[in-house]
Amino acid sequence: MTDILGEERSEMIDPSRFRKVLGHYPTGVCAITAVDPEGNIAGMAVGSFTSVSLNPPLVAFLPDRSSTSWPKIERAGKFCVNVLSAKQLDVCRRLASKAENKFEGLDYYLSKNGSPIIKDVVAWIDCDLERVDEAGDHYIVLGAVRDLQIESGNGSLLFSHGEYGGFSPLSTCSI
């Protein structure tokens, strides 16, 4: 088998082992939201969000190619990254589900760019869709930041070792 650079690979990495090892690296949990051209609200939970560039301001996230929510967000041509708080595990689970109307009963308002901002998130980053590249079983989605704001002082929702939780600074822990 050849790798992404066209070089021969000597052995395959077992997907469950890959997931287990990388599960030791904690990630923040975000909700990606958008309104498609027909006015339908779409959302998905992701743990693969990162800043990319300060100048110009760019961010990225990596949706699974099998996602049913991603095509709706892509059609919108813009999206909002909602940094979920440790108190919003229910929002994460709702947006990660296959439910028909994930936003039913969920409090949100629209950004100036027209994307949903979920109430009580830690922060939000409103973006125009800049570029989408294929990367194995995922896409790499690049967003051009149009606006952003810290929304609350709550701690962020984190995912590590197959579980959700929050962050405790070392200054508050006895070592």
pLDDT tens by residue, 112-156:
999 999 999 999 999 999 999 999 999 999 999 999 999 988 899
Greater pLDDT, 172 or 141: 141
CATH number at 109 reads 2.30.110.10
Q: Is residue 41 part of a domain?
A: yes
How many domains is the chain built from? 1
pLDDT band at 165 (very low <50, low <70, confident <90, very high): confident
Q: Is residue 101 part of a domain?
A: yes
Q: Is residue 16 part of a domain?
A: no
- For the chain, the average pLDDT equals 89
Residue 150 belongs to domain spanning: 22-159
Distance between CA 11 and CA 34 in Å, rounded?
40
Q: Is residue 17 part of a domain?
A: no
Using the Cα atoms of residue 21, residue 70, residue 85 and residue 58 in order, give the sign of their dihedral: positive
Q: Terminal CA-to-CA distance of the chain, rounded, Å?
A: 46
Q: Is residue 11 part of a domain?
A: no
Q: Is residue 28 part of a domain?
A: yes
Q: Running DSSP on this structure, what letter comes out for residue 7?
A: P
